[in-house]
Protein backbone atom coordinates (compact mmCIF):
# COMPACT_ATOMS: atom_id res chain seq x y z
CA UNK A 1 0.00 0.00 0.00
CA UNK A 2 1.60 3.25 -1.08
CA UNK A 3 0.50 6.40 0.69
CA UNK A 4 0.33 9.42 -1.57
CA UNK A 5 -1.37 12.46 -0.10
CA UNK A 6 -2.24 15.31 -2.45
CA UNK A 7 -0.76 18.79 -2.05
CA UNK A 8 -3.04 21.23 -0.24
CA UNK A 9 -5.96 20.48 2.05
CA UNK A 10 -6.72 16.76 2.39
CA UNK A 11 -10.22 15.39 2.91
CA UNK A 12 -11.38 11.85 3.55
CA UNK A 13 -12.26 11.61 -0.15
CA UNK A 14 -8.52 11.92 -0.86
CA UNK A 15 -7.29 9.12 1.39
CA UNK A 16 -7.55 5.32 1.44
CA UNK A 17 -10.40 3.55 3.20
CA UNK A 18 -9.40 0.95 5.79
CA UNK A 19 -11.78 -2.00 5.57
CA UNK A 20 -9.99 -4.48 7.88
CA UNK A 21 -7.83 -4.40 10.97
CA UNK A 22 -5.02 -5.74 8.77
CA UNK A 23 -5.38 -2.66 6.54
CA UNK A 24 -4.76 -0.40 9.54
CA UNK A 25 -1.74 -2.45 10.63
CA UNK A 26 -0.37 -2.31 7.07
CA UNK A 27 -0.87 1.47 7.05
CA UNK A 28 1.34 1.73 10.15
CA UNK A 29 4.12 0.22 8.05
CA UNK A 30 4.06 3.16 5.63
CA UNK A 31 2.86 6.13 7.71
CA UNK A 32 3.86 6.88 11.28
CA UNK A 33 3.11 8.29 13.77
CA UNK A 34 -0.60 7.66 13.31
CA UNK A 35 -3.51 8.46 15.55
CA UNK A 36 -7.21 7.66 15.51
CA UNK A 37 -10.00 10.13 16.14
CA UNK A 38 -13.73 9.48 16.44
CA UNK A 39 -15.56 12.55 15.15
CA UNK A 40 -17.67 13.93 12.31
CA UNK A 41 -14.47 14.00 10.22
CA UNK A 42 -11.60 16.31 9.36
CA UNK A 43 -13.71 18.86 7.50
CA UNK A 44 -15.93 19.40 10.56
CA UNK A 45 -12.95 19.24 12.93
CA UNK A 46 -11.22 22.05 11.02
CA UNK A 47 -13.92 24.41 12.30
CA UNK A 48 -14.22 23.16 15.87
CA UNK A 49 -12.10 22.64 18.99
CA UNK A 50 -11.84 19.79 21.46
CA UNK A 51 -13.06 20.51 24.97
CA UNK A 52 -12.64 18.85 28.31
CA UNK A 53 -16.25 17.91 28.93
CA UNK A 54 -15.98 18.01 32.73
CA UNK A 55 -14.38 21.46 33.07
CA UNK A 56 -15.46 23.03 29.79
CA UNK A 57 -11.85 24.06 29.10
CA UNK A 58 -10.88 24.45 25.46
CA UNK A 59 -8.01 22.15 24.50
CA UNK A 60 -5.12 23.35 22.30
CA UNK A 61 -5.57 20.49 19.81
CA UNK A 62 -7.77 17.61 18.74
CA UNK A 63 -8.05 14.65 21.15
CA UNK A 64 -6.66 11.49 19.55
CA UNK A 65 -5.52 7.99 20.46
CA UNK A 66 -2.14 6.66 19.23
CA UNK A 67 -2.19 3.79 16.74
CA UNK A 68 1.57 3.16 16.90
CA UNK A 69 2.49 0.63 19.60
CA UNK A 70 4.66 1.83 22.46
CA UNK A 71 8.25 0.47 22.54
CA UNK A 72 7.41 -1.73 25.56
CA UNK A 73 4.55 -3.47 23.73
CA UNK A 74 5.59 -7.13 23.27
CA UNK A 75 2.40 -8.41 21.67
CA UNK A 76 1.27 -8.31 18.04
CA UNK A 77 0.64 -4.88 16.53
CA UNK A 78 -2.92 -6.03 15.74
CA UNK A 79 -3.60 -6.35 19.46
CA UNK A 80 -2.44 -2.77 20.14
CA UNK A 81 -4.50 -1.35 17.28
CA UNK A 82 -7.57 -3.30 18.39
CA UNK A 83 -7.20 -1.99 21.93
CA UNK A 84 -6.75 1.60 20.77
CA UNK A 85 -9.81 1.43 18.52
CA UNK A 86 -11.87 -0.07 21.34
CA UNK A 87 -10.89 2.60 23.89
CA UNK A 88 -13.07 5.22 22.20
CA UNK A 89 -15.48 3.01 20.27
CA UNK A 90 -18.26 4.27 22.55
CA UNK A 91 -18.00 7.52 20.54
CA UNK A 92 -19.04 5.72 17.35
CA UNK A 93 -22.44 7.02 16.22
CA UNK A 94 -24.04 7.62 12.84
CA UNK A 95 -22.53 11.13 13.01
CA UNK A 96 -19.12 10.12 14.39
CA UNK A 97 -16.69 7.65 12.89
CA UNK A 98 -13.02 6.73 13.24
CA UNK A 99 -10.38 8.14 10.95
CA UNK A 100 -6.59 7.98 11.01
CA UNK A 101 -4.54 11.14 11.05
CA UNK A 102 -1.17 12.58 11.82
CA UNK A 103 -0.13 15.96 13.14
CA UNK A 104 1.91 17.83 15.71
CA UNK A 105 1.46 16.97 19.40
CA UNK A 106 0.73 20.25 21.20
CA UNK A 107 -0.27 18.92 24.59
CA UNK A 108 -2.09 16.23 26.55
CA UNK A 109 -5.77 16.07 27.36
CA UNK A 110 -7.36 15.30 30.74
CA UNK A 111 -7.03 11.54 30.11
CA UNK A 112 -3.39 12.06 29.07
CA UNK A 113 -4.36 11.56 25.42
CA UNK A 114 -2.29 13.37 22.79
CA UNK A 115 -3.70 16.63 21.46
CA UNK A 116 -2.85 17.28 17.81
CA UNK A 117 -2.59 20.46 15.76
CA UNK A 118 -1.73 20.82 12.07
CA UNK A 119 -3.61 17.58 11.45
CA UNK A 120 -3.62 15.69 8.17
CA UNK A 121 -6.13 12.93 7.45
CA UNK A 122 -4.41 9.71 6.39
CA UNK A 123 -7.28 7.21 6.10
CA UNK A 124 -10.92 6.61 6.86
CA UNK A 125 -11.73 3.57 8.98
CA UNK A 126 -14.89 1.54 8.35
CA UNK A 127 -17.15 0.54 11.21
CA UNK A 128 -16.39 -3.08 10.27
CA UNK A 129 -12.81 -2.47 11.43
CA UNK A 130 -14.06 -1.39 14.85
CA UNK A 131 -16.28 -4.47 15.01
CA UNK A 132 -13.32 -6.68 14.07
CA UNK A 133 -11.17 -4.91 16.68
CA UNK A 134 -13.83 -5.47 19.36
CA UNK A 135 -14.01 -9.19 18.58
CA UNK A 136 -10.21 -9.51 18.77
CA UNK A 137 -10.11 -7.42 21.95
CA UNK A 138 -12.57 -9.75 23.66
CA UNK A 139 -10.47 -12.79 22.64
CA UNK A 140 -6.99 -11.60 23.61
CA UNK A 141 -7.50 -9.21 26.53
CA UNK A 142 -9.03 -9.46 29.99
CA UNK A 143 -11.38 -6.44 29.92
CA UNK A 144 -12.16 -5.00 33.30
CA UNK A 145 -9.21 -6.68 35.05
CA UNK A 146 -7.75 -3.94 37.23
CA UNK A 147 -5.05 -6.15 38.74
CA UNK A 148 -6.62 -6.47 42.17
- What is the enclosing helix (H) or strand (E) of 136? helix 127-140
pLDDT at 15: 87
Whole-Å CA distances, 2 to 23, 80, 92: 12, 22, 28
Q: Report yes or no on 36 lying in a domain.
A: yes
pLDDT at 142: 83
> Which domain, by its residues, includes 75?
15-140
Q: Report yes or no on 52 lying in a domain.
A: yes
Q: Report yes or no on 86 lying in a domain.
A: yes
Q: Report yes or no on 58 lying in a domain.
A: yes
pLDDT at 10: 66
pLDDT at 9: 65
pLDDT at 137: 95
Q: Report yes or no on 68 lying in a domain.
A: yes
pLDDT at 4: 53
Q: Report yes or no on 80 lying in a domain.
A: yes
Residue spans of beta strands (DSSP E) within the chain: 17-18, 35-39, 62-63, 65-66, 97-108, 114-125
Whole-Å CA distances, 24 to 20, 59, 85, 96, 105: 7, 27, 10, 18, 21
- The number of distinct structural domains making up the chain is 1
Q: Report yes or no on 5 lying in a domain.
A: no
Q: Report yes or no on 28 lying in a domain.
A: yes
pLDDT means per 10 residues, the chain with 148 residues, are 55 87 96 94 88 93 96 97 93 91 95 94 95 96 75
CB atoms within 10 A of CB 133: 25
pLDDT at 14: 81
pLDDT at 7: 56
Amino acid sequence: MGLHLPDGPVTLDDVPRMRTLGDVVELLGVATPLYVRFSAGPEKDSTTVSRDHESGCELPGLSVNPLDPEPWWDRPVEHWVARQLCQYAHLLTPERFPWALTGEIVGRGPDCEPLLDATVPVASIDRAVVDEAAALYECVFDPGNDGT
